[in-house]
């Protein structure tokens, strides 16, 4: 099973992420963002705490990745793994792990709510969202 794919979208970028559970969906989304940004990483590992609450699962995911994106640019860290402490339908809290970077080949302006969707079939979750580039 593919972890993610980039889909055509008129002016922006649409990303489809697959995960066998909600946690793998989050971690695969982190990998998709890393892949798109194409960072020049250092070997210095970093960890940061994150806590997000939302009204539903989609808003929670969009808010979570918007916060990840902000932390990426502010701290110059590409996050590659999330370790949950609290993991509920409307609340995520835990620790992000990643590496400092020297530069990025591409930029993301924002993670958008536009056309965001989250589906679950019997085998996996599918999360689609659009990033403003």
Buried b or exposed e, range 33-58, using 16+ CB within 10 angstroms: bbebbebeeeeeebebebebebeebb
Helices (H), 38-125: 57-75
Label residue 10 by pLDDT band (50, 70, 90).
Answer: confident
Residue 26 belongs to domain with CATH number = 3.55.10.10
Give the domain range for residue 111. Answer: 4-132
- pLDDT digit string, tens, across residues 56-99: 999 999 999 999 999 999 999 999 999 999 988 899 999 999 99
Q: What is the tally of structural domains in the chain?
A: 1
Task: Supply the pTM of this predicted model.
Answer: 0.95
pLDDT at 125 over 90: yes
Using left for φ > 0, alpha for ψ between -120 and 50, and beta otherwise, residue 38 falls in: left
Label residue 9 by pLDDT band (50, 70, 90).
Answer: confident
Q: What is the DSSP letter of 1?
A: -
Cβ–Cβ < 8 Å for 48, 62: no
Q: Which two tokens stand for residue 71?
A: 């932390």
């Amino acid at each position: 099973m593919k972890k993610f794919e980039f889909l055509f979208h008129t002016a922006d970028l649409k990303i489809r992420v697959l995960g066998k559970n909600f946690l793998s969906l989050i971690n695969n989304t982190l990998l998709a963002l890393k892949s798109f940004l194409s960072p020049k990483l250092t070997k210095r590992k970093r960890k940061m705490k994150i806590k997000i609450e939302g009204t539903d699962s989609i808003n929670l995911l969009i808010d979570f990745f918007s916060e990840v994106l902000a932390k990426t640019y502010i701290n110059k860290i590409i996050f590659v793994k999330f370790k949950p402490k609290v993991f509920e339908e409307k609340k995520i809290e835990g620790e992000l792990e990643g590496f400092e970077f020297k530069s990025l080949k591409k930029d993301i302006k924002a993670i958008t709510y536009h056309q965001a969707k989250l589906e679950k079939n019997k085998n996996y979750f599918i999360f689609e969202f659009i990033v403003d580039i």
